[in-house]
Amino acid sequence: MNPRTAEIRPGQGATPSIVVSGVTVRYANGVTAVNDASFALGPGTICALVGVNGSGKSTIFKTLMGFLKPAQGLVSIAGMEVRAALKRGLVAYVPQAEEVDWTFPVLVDDVVMMGRYGHMGFMRMPRKADREAAELALERVNMLEFRRRQIGELSGGQRKRVFLARALAQGGQVILLDEPFTGVDVKTEDQIVGLMRELRAEGRLMLVSTHNLGSIPDFCDQVVIVNKTVLAAGPTETTFTQDNLQRAFGGALRHFRLEGASLHADADQRRVTVITDDERPLVFYGDRDHEKPAAGRKDGQP
Ligand SMILES: Nc1ncnc2c1ncn2[C@@H]1O[C@H](COP(=O)(O)OP(=O)(O)OP(=O)(O)O)[C@@H](O)[C@H]1O
């Protein structure tokens, strides 16, 4: 491990873990977004959180971030209550782009420094260690040269990297990433995945909500599949299966039959092959927006 990375890890001593046990979350308007959900994750893990729109992924994140309190059940992070884990700076959050006001005039440096607030005193005066940690974090995501830019003046992928840098500067041991690949190009996605692999090797735990089904077998060792509850959770090989995806995406994939074996193939191209009812193979290249027909119909027709 890079010896400098050790300098910005305040959560040392706490083993990163997430335990969600029988959790039900209800919004003020009475909507039960998540009902009796359970899963458990340990250190050195990248876990995908997968489900259709409205299935409860963001609700789970908000609960892990302490923004929502479960009506029932227990959540613990690193063996402690959410509030205690947050207070110790153990949990870092990389938000969805839509959650951020990009017109707010703030520099890249300032965003990353926010990750250091928990390390600073009441007056929030950055010290040398804070400035070094922020710089190191920006270096790690290849954004150091942009440090004096307003965040509103960055591309989607660059913004994601800045928020990742904030999580790194904070030293979060449990990192929650809400749709980190939406609106980023393939190169940036590869950089983010590469960084996540490094963080996993350091023992950190990452929970990543994503619609990029194709890339999941490539970099996630665990998968949690949700639809208003946890439908399945466990190692990718045994959980990211045709049956479970069918249960979760039943509506969306109604016309498709997944080729189970191909879910695990083609790590380089991050490819998932889907055969439609009319036997037309479709290939997902990581991002469902890039979903495109493969080389014609199986029967050779154009
Ligand atoms: N503030 C809110 N008040 C009431 N209901 C809400 C609120 N936020 C979300 N919901 C409802 O809770 C359910 C779960 O929503 P959630 O945002 O967690 O889904 P999601 O899986 O993150 O969706 P997406 O993939 O579209 O981001 C949905 O039925 C949604 O309409």
Task: Please report the atom of ligand 1 found closest to the CA of residue 60.
Answer: 18
pLDDT at 61: 95
pLDDT at 98: 66
Of the candidates 246, 203, 185, 196, the one whose C-alpha atom is nearest the C-alpha of residue 218 is: 196
Answer yes or no: are the C-beta atoms of 134 and 169 closer than 8 Å.
yes
Task: Please report the atom of ligand 1 found closest to the CA of residue 62.
Answer: 18
DSSP per position, the chain: --GGGGGG-TTTTSPP-EEEEEEEEE-TTS-EEEEEEEEEE-SSEEEEEE--TTSSHHHHHHHHTTSS--SEEEEEETTEEHHHHHHTT-EEEE--GGGS-TTS--BHHHHHHHTTGGGS-TT----HHHHHHHHHHHHHTT-GGGTTSBGGGS-HHHHHHHHHHHHHHHT-SEEEEESTTTT--HHHHHHHHHHHHHHHHTT-EEEEE-S-GGGHHHH-SEEEEESSSEEEEEEHHHHS-HHHHHHHHTTTTTTEEE-GGGGGS-TTTTEEEEEETTS-EEEEESEEEEEEE-SS-TTS--
Which residue has the CA at smallest separation from atom 24 of ligand 1?
53
pLDDT at 250: 67
ipTM of the complex: 0.97
pLDDT at 165: 93
User: Which of 25, 29, 31 for mutating ligand 1's site (highest number of atoms within 8 Å of CB)?
Assistant: 31
pLDDT at 255: 36
pLDDT at 245: 83
pTM summary value:
0.80
User: Which of 32, 34, 58 for mutating ligand 1's site (highest number of atoms within 8 Å of CB)?
Assistant: 58
Q: Say how many Å lie between the CA of residue 68 and the centre of ligand 1.
A: 12
Tell me the residue type at 195: L
The Cα–Cα gap between 16 and 271 comes to 31
Q: pLDDT tens digits, the chain, 302 residues: what are they?
A: 444 443 444 455 679 999 999 999 999 999 999 999 999 999 999 999 998 888 999 999 999 999 999 999 999 999 999 999 998 889 999 887 766 677 777 899 999 998 888 777 667 777 888 899 999 999 999 999 999 999 888 888 888 899 999 999 998 999 999 888 887 888 888 889 999 999 999 999 999 998 888 788 889 999 999 999 999 999 999 998 878 887 887 645 433 344 433 333 333 434 454 444 444 444 444 433 333 333 333 333 33
- Side by side, which strands form the sheet with 256-258? 256-258, 271-276, 281-285, 287-293
pLDDT at 1: 40
Domains by residue range for the chain, with CATH: 3-240 (3.40.50.300)
Q: What are phi and psi of 12, to 5 degrees?
A: -55, 140
pLDDT at 301: 39
